[in-house]
Structure 1
Amino acid sequence: MADSQQHTPVPQTSTGAAPQFQKLPDIIRSHRPCKCFRNSKSESSNFVTSLDFNDQGEHMVAACDDETIQIFDVKEGKSTKTVPSKKYGVHLARFTHHPRQVLHASTKVDHSLRLLDLHNEGYIRYFSGHTDKVTCLAMSPGSDSFISCSKDDTVTLWDIGSRNPQGKLKLATPYLVAFDPSASVIAIASQSTSSVLLYDFRNFDKPPFATFDLAPYEETYTPSTRGRAWTRLEFSNDGKYLMVGTDYHGHFVLDAFDGSIKAFLTGKGGSPGRAAPISATAKPLGQGDACFTPDGRYVLGGNGDQQDVLVWDLQQERESNGMLFPMVKLPHRNRTALIEHNPRYNMIATADKETFFWQPDEPAKPSEK
C-alpha cells in the first residue's frame, strides 16, 4: 500500500475525541475525509471488500480482492502492515477479541475460515465444514464464539479455540447473521423467505423464538428487489433497533423486539454494486454500505454511484409512509461501498477502491474582540 495521502489537515484530536461543547448533530455533520490510503501497485480494478475495527478501536483491518489483508493504526492514521493471502484469498476479515488475531473467510482452494496471527503472519487454526462461499461472519461481543453463514444454506457456530463446529443450522439462504449487544440473541436474515429469525444463543439448536416477516415492507418500499440484495444485518448498540441494509433502495430499521418497522431509510442514489451473495454487476462482494453510530441514534450510509455519505437521524420525524430522508450529506470525492464507525473513537472509515479515514472538522474558534 502506498503512503497515506492527506487531503485535509488531521485534527489535533487525533483519537477522534469530540470537543465537549459541540452538540451531537453538529459533530456528525462536521465529519470530513482526512486520510486516503491506496495501493498504487495494484490494478485499478482492485476493491476493498470488508472493514473491521478491533475492540479498542485502535486498529482496523481491511480485506482486499487483490488477496491482501491491510492493517491500519487508527491513532497514528497510517497503514502498518500488509499480509498477503495469495493461496487462499481473503474476505470478511474480522478481529477476534485478541488484538493480534484476525479471522477471515477464504475465496480460493476451499471454503474454510482461517485464524491469522498478525505478529508472525502465520495461521493458528482452520475451521472447515462449509461447502460453498461464506457470506457473513459475526464475532460474539461477549465470548470467543463466532458464527458463519454460507451459500451452502448452513449457519455454523464455532469457538476460536476449536476447529470443530459447536453447532449447525440448515436454513434457506441464510446470508446474514448478527449478535445483539448482550450476546444472548442471534439474528439470521434469510433473503429468499424475506424473513429475519431470532435465536437464543444458549439454545442455538432450538427453533427461533421470533420470526420477523419483511415481505410486506419489501412490497411497500423495495418491490423490484424483493427477496434479494440484502447486504447488512446489524443491531444498534443499545439493542433497540435491528437494521437490514439493502444494496439499492435504502435500509430497513426494525424494532428489535417485535420486528415492526421504525423507518425505511431512503434517499440513496443507486447501488454500490456489492449485493451479497452474488453481485449482478460482477463487482466484488462487500459487507453492506450502512452502519449504526455507537450511540444508536444515526445510521451512516453510502449513496450508490454518487460521491457523498448519507446520515439519517433516527430521532427525526418520519414521513407519513414511514420513510426517513437523510439529515445531511457529507461531501466526498469517492464512492462509498463500505462504511464502519469506530466503536471507541469519533472517526469513520469508508472504502471502495481506496480506504478513507474521516474525522470531525475542528470547530472555528470565536474571534477575539
Structure 2
Amino acid sequence: MSMPTTQKVQDVVKQYRPAKHFPSSRDDTHVTSLDFDDQGEFLVAASDDDTMQIFDVREGKKTKTIPSKKYGIHLARFTHHSRQVLFASTKQDDSLRLLELHNESFVRYFTAHTSQVTSVALSPANDTFLSCGNDDLVCLWDLRSRSPQGKFKLVTPYLAAWDPSASVIAIASQSTQSILLYDVNNFDKAPFATFDLQEAERKYAPSTQGRAWTKLEFSNDGKYILLGTDFHGHFLLDSFEGDVKAFLVGKTDGTGRAAPVSNSGKPLGQGDVCFSQDGRFVFGGTGGQSDLLVWDTNSASNGHLDPLVKLQSRGIKTPIVQANPRFNMLATADTKVAMWLPSDQTKSSDT
C-alpha cells in the first residue's frame, strides 16, 4: 500500500477502493469504533473482543494490539497527543480511561457516568472533551483532571460534537428529536439554539422518528451539521439556522449495529457516515450491502440528495466509516478493518 496523497478530494473521490484489509483474530469479533490521530498517520480500532488495534497509516500495517479485558473498550479516540488514546469502558464500570500507548499504562480515569457512555468528542483546540451517557448525563472534562469541569442532565443526550472553532458544542437528543447548541464558555447555561427535527423526521423518516440517531458531526468549515441515522438516510443541516439542506438517501437498511445505545445481541458501533477531509463530501455505508456511498453537499437542494457515486467495496461490509483528516484515505470496519485509497494507489491485499 502506497502513502496516501493530498490531492483535492474532488479529484479522487470517485476513485476510492479498498487497498488493504486486516481481518480480526476471530470471525465473530466486530470492530466498534475507528479514529485517526490529528496528523492522519495512525488509526485506532476498538473491538468487542476487548482489544484495541493501532495501525501505522504510512506503512499500511498493524503495529500493536492492546488488551482491555478487565474494562472492555469502545469509542477509542486519539487525544492531541498521538501516543495517548481515550476510551469508554464497557465492563465493570462506566468510566472513561486515558491510556499511554508507549507503555500501555493508564494515565487517568474519568468517573461520573453511571451507565454506558454513548459519545466521546475531543475539542479541536485543546485537551477538553465531552462525554454523553445512557444515564442522561452530559459531562465536560479536561484530560488533566479526573473530575468533570461541568455536567448536566438532558433527556437521551446520546451524541455530541464540537464546531471547528471549539466554541460551540452540539448535543443531539434523539427521543426529543432535537439538537441543542451550547456556548462552551457558558456550558452550565441554557442552549442558545435548539434545532427541532420533528417535522423533518416526519417528512423524511416517518416510521423511525426519534430512533437510532448514530452520528453527529460538524463539517470542517462549520457550515453544516451531519446527523446520521441507522435507517433511511442522514440529515445535512445548516449549522446556523438548523434547516435541513438535504436528506441523504441511498442506504438500503440498517447496519445491524447498536449505535449509540447497546441492545442485546447487537455489536456496538459509532455510525456509518462522516464528512470528507475537506467537508464537501459525505461518505456513508449502504446498510446491509457492502459498498460505500458518496454524497456531494454542493448539490444539496432542500430535499432528497442521491449519492454522487457508489464505491465498490469488494465484499467488505461498511458499518463503521471514518475519513482520514489529512490524507486522501478512508477506513471502514466490520469484522475487519479496511484502508481505502484512490484506485491509482491501490493494490488490495489481506494482512
TM-score range, shorter chain: over 0.9
Aligned to 2:114: 131
Per-residue Cα deviation, 1:41-73 (whole angstroms, up to 9, x for no partner): 32x211000000001110011100000010000
Taking structure 1 as reference, are residues 325 and 177 closer, same or farther at Cα in structure 2, changes over 3 Å only? Answer: same
Q: Looking at both structures, which has the greater relative contact order when contacts are Cα pairs under 8 Å and sequence separation is at least 6?
A: 2
Tell me the distance in 2 between the aligned counterparts of 1:352 and 1:360. 21
TM-score (norm. length: structure 1): 0.91
TM-fit CA distance, 1:273: 1.6
Taking structure 1 as reference, are residues 113 and 329 closer, same or farther at Cα in structure 2, changes over 3 Å only? Answer: same
Aligned to 2:343: 361
Aligned to 1:331: 312
Aligned to 1:56: 39
Per-residue Cα deviation, 1:281-323 (whole angstroms, up to 9, x for no partner): 72211111000012111000000011100000111254xx700
Aligned to 1:219: 202
Give the secondary-structure state (helix, strand or coil) at the position aligned to 1:216.
helix
TM-fit CA distance, 1:26: 4.0
- Report the residue type matching 1:336 in the other structure: T
TM-score (norm. length: structure 2): 0.96
- Report the residue type matching 1:62 in the other structure: A
Verify the 8 A CA contact 1:159 1:165 in the aligned structure 2.
yes
Query: What is the Cα-based RMSD across aligned positions, in Å?
Result: 1.3
Show the 5 A alignment for 1:47-86: 47-86=30-69
- Number of residue-to-residue matches in the alignment: 344
Give the secondary-structure state (helix, strand or coil) at the position aligned to 2:146.
strand
Tell me the distance in 1 between the aligned counterparts of 2:300 and 2:48. 40
Give the secondary-structure state (helix, strand or coil) at the position aligned to 2:185.
helix
1:15 and 2:10 matched: no
Verify the 8 A CA contact 1:38 1:353 in the aligned structure 2.
yes
2:217 pairs with one of 231, 234, 245: 234
Per-residue Cα deviation, 1:176-221 (whole angstroms, up to 9, x for no partner): 0000000000000001100000000011001000000000010011
TM-fit CA distance, 1:276: 2.6
- Report the residue type matching 1:119 in the other structure: H
1:190 and 2:173 matched: yes
2:241 pairs with one of 258, 264, 283: 258
TM-fit CA distance, 1:278: 3.5
Tell me the distance in 2 between the aligned counterparts of 1:184 and 1:108. 33
1:34 and 2:19 matched: yes
Taking structure 1 as reference, are residues 281 and 87 closer, same or farther at Cα in structure 2, changes over 3 Å only? Answer: closer
Tell me the distance in 1 between the aligned counterparts of 2:289 and 2:98. 36
Aligned to 1:3: none
Give the secondary-structure state (helix, strand or coil) at the position aligned to 1:315.
helix
Taking structure 1 as reference, are residues 206 and 119 closer, same or farther at Cα in structure 2, changes over 3 Å only? Answer: same
1:101 and 2:87 matched: no
Tell me the distance in 2 between the aligned counterparts of 1:360 and 1:245. 25
Aligned to 2:190: 207
* Unaligned segments of structure 2, at least 5 residues: 346-351
Verify the 8 A CA contact 2:35 2:76 in the aligned structure 1.
yes
Tell me the distance in 2 between the aligned counterparts of 1:340 and 1:317. 22
Per-residue Cα deviation, 1:139-186 (whole angstroms, up to 9, x for no partner): 000010001000000000110000011000110000000000000000
Taking structure 1 as reference, are residues 204 and 97 closer, same or farther at Cα in structure 2, changes over 3 Å only? Answer: same
* Unaligned segments of structure 1, at least 5 residues: 1-9, 364-369
Show the 5 A alignment for 1:290-369: 290-316=273-299, 318=301, 322-332=303-313, 333-362=315-344
Question: Which consecutive segments of 4 or more residues in structure 1 shift more than 6 A?
Answer: none
- Report the residue type matching 1:361 in the other structure: S
Verify the 8 A CA contact 1:101 1:115 in the aligned structure 2.
yes
1:171 and 2:160 matched: no
Give the % identical residues. 61
